[in-house]
Structure 1
Amino acid sequence: MRLCLVLIAAGVALRQVDRAHFARKRPRTAPTADLISLQRRRVNNLTPLLLLIGQWLQIAGWWLLAAHGPLAAAVTAVAVAVHFRHLQEISHFAVHGVLARTARANLLLGEVFAHHPLALAPLPVRRRRHVHDHHPNATVVGTDPNLAELHEASLRQGATRVAFTMALIRPLTPRGIRSTMAGIVKTLRHSPSRTITILALAGGAFAIGGPAALIWGFLVPRLLLYPQLAHLSLLVEHTWFDPAVRTGPAAYVEAGRCLRLYPRNRFLAALTAMTWLPYGDLHHYAHSAHPGMRWNYLPALERHLPPPHFTPNGLLLGSPTVAGRHFSALTPAPGISGGETAPTRRAT
């Protein structure tokens, strides 16, 4: 147990090096140009490496904990799933080329510490899909690959309440599990290096924490919990099914199709940022307006921007909620033809 705590504490400490480095002289609010200038002066290749090593040190600590009974195993499963989600989001900034100083460092750090061990598609493939296909076309039917992913999860016009509810937890359903496993198999089939990495990681989990670590510290998080967290994060990025279509400056356009969860609840916002919407994902509106901004500066940028047109108080509970808006947009009022959304349900 002592070694478990030491590893987790060491991982937390290493992660703070990157946070502290980019926090120096950071203003509470500032325009884009000032923040980009500060970011360029701070960017480096060392602190992102320490950040990623810290994530994996914490994971190793949780693997040690997994063997200490059912409760410890359950805590490990949730904690490792959160770390996997963090790794996904850190690598997202590598995709945008702002995790580290050089393009090569972004590629290597993203691949070695996230894409290979999580069996994700190669970083250049994700870059093309995310940067070139999603960002300019967010919420556009037939063009945005993320919206197509939600459609595949049965979030479509005319969805019943039962179908909508099941779509919210799709990664935990039999169909969702099959889809997750099919995606992993497809990725591994074309990448022997990823296959070796996954086998080595599974072996490492077993060596550190035995069968409990392998099952609850690797398989359950990767196949069930992490995909669910990633799915929820996708749901709260945009007003997918009834965006306000706008033209003009980037911030104005993105304010019409983005949302900001928990704008008035600091506790839930902080908890969310530490778990399933980490590293700037809570500030997706600011990221969408300026994709070249590192997560450290998104809160300051967000305070400088006008708020997006939808600022829900909760995901499922409270009013308004993300789920409520999505369901309303997918089930238009009587008299509205298929594919249209009632004007009263469209915030501007």
Structure 2
Amino acid sequence: MSAAIALIVVGLLLRQLDRVRHLRKPRTLTAAEAMSLQRTRATVWVPALLLAGEWIQIAGWWLLAGVEPLLAVLAAVAVGVHFRHLQEISHFAVHGVLARGRRANVMLAEVFVHLPMALGPVSERRTRHVRDHHPNATVGGVDPNLEELRAAGLVPGAARGAVTRAAVHPLTLRGLRDTVSGLGQSLARPERAAAVVLVAVAAYAVGGWTGLVAGVIVPRLWLYPQLAWLSLLGEHTWFDPQRRTGSRAEIEAGRCLRLYPEGPVLAAVAAVTWLPYGDLHHYAHSAHPAVRWNYLPAVERELAPPHCTPAALLLGSGSLLARHRRALAGEREASAGVAARGGRQGSLTP
């Protein structure tokens, strides 16, 4: 057990080097000031050690998983969180602000995240995310993220139970099929299949069958997809955005949100688990995609609040899920009203 704890601590310390590198900054920053500051501090070796630190911690959890069943459960959750961290770090590589130089960003994202986690090529993710999603967030038929939510059942007229099930879509059989289908498409590429086999062999070598199951299979198939899904649900007011004009920040303020604005404890928990590396500040990121996560809190303080600031994600009448549910029901009621008016008009036609 001591070796496992040592690995977890070493990985954690390595991850802090990135924090230290970008630590000194004013409490508030304009986007231009933030981008200038992050350029002067950009390196390749610091983000490489950050990513290596995540995997060293994962190795520690693999080793711990083999000690006893309760620790295996804890390890599965922890590795799911680390996979979510890796996804979010690579998200900033897709935007070109993780490391110095475009090639370094692509290389780090591929080697440390996309290959071992069986995600698609970085170039495809960049097209989908930067070109298709960012300028078209919440626009039906254009935004791929909105289409993904609709495919999970979040459509106008969805019943209350359907919306609730959609909130845990990756944990359902249908969600598992979607995850396995995506993995199958990725593993059809030999280099990705080889990387996944390497991860599986390493997990087995470190933690045996328990390390493989609790440290790779369960987190990759269920826990990490669920954490990423919750993040997706919390990015925008997908079904009732305010269509605004003006600057990019003004437009994003009408379709983004800020979770836990007055809940420091919930915000801190989210920031270290399912909304890591600046994802809690998705509104600021949407307004200024070229700003690295270290500077998003300071940039966010310069922005006017977004139109939605829920205190909870899933539970309560004031939660974001309740808002999504009302928005979908509102679309259903509006559609029913249009149909009724159409029916009355039709009855007057000779």
How would you bin the TM-score normalised by the shorter chain? over 0.9
Q: TM-score, length-normalised on structure 1? A: 0.95
Structure 1 stretches of 4+ with a deviation exceeding 3 A read: none
CA distance in 1, matches of 2:36, 2:337: 43
Unaligned runs of 5+ in 2: 339-350
Cα offset, 1:153, TM superposition: 0.5
CA distance in 2, matches of 1:269, 1:290: 21
CA distance in 2, matches of 1:129, 1:234: 14
CA distance in 1, matches of 2:327, 2:70: 40
2:182 aligned with 1:183, yes or no? yes
Matches within 5 A, 1:131-280: 131-189=130-188, 191-280=189-278
User: 1:302-343: CA deviations, max 9, x gaps?
Assistant: 011111010000012245211010000001188522699xxx
Of 280, 283, 288, the match for 1:282: 280
Matches within 5 A, 1:15-164: 15-24=15-24, 26-164=25-163
Instruction: Specify the code of the residue in structure 2 equivalent to 1:8.
Output: I
Cα offset, 1:35, TM superposition: 1.2
User: 1:144-186: CA deviations, max 9, x gaps?
Assistant: 0000000011100000111111111110111110110010001
**Conserved 8 A contact 1:62-1:80:** yes
- The CA RMSD over aligned residues, in Å, is 1.2
Unaligned runs of 5+ in 1: 341-348
Cα offset, 1:234, TM superposition: 0.1
SS at match of 1:30: coil
**Conserved 8 A contact 2:156-2:332:** no
Instruction: Specify the code of the residue in structure 2 equivalent to 1:187.
Output: S
Instruction: Specify the code of the residue in structure 1 equivalent to 2:280.
Output: L
Identity within the alignment, %: 59
**Conserved 8 A contact 1:157-1:339:** no
CA distance in 2, matches of 1:334, 1:297: 40
CA distance in 1, matches of 2:166, 2:337: 19
Distance 1:284 1:338, change over 3 A: farther
User: 1:263-283: CA deviations, max 9, x gaps?
Assistant: 001111011000000001000
SS at match of 1:337: helix
In the other structure, the counterpart of 2:9 is: 9
Q: TM-score, length-normalised on structure 2? A: 0.95
**Conserved 8 A contact 1:313-1:319:** no
In the other structure, the counterpart of 1:344 is: none
Instruction: Specify the code of the residue in structure 1 equivalent to 2:300.
Output: E
User: In the comparison of the two structures, how many residue pairs are matched?
Assistant: 338
CA distance in 2, matches of 1:225, 1:241: 26
**Conserved 8 A contact 1:117-1:194:** yes
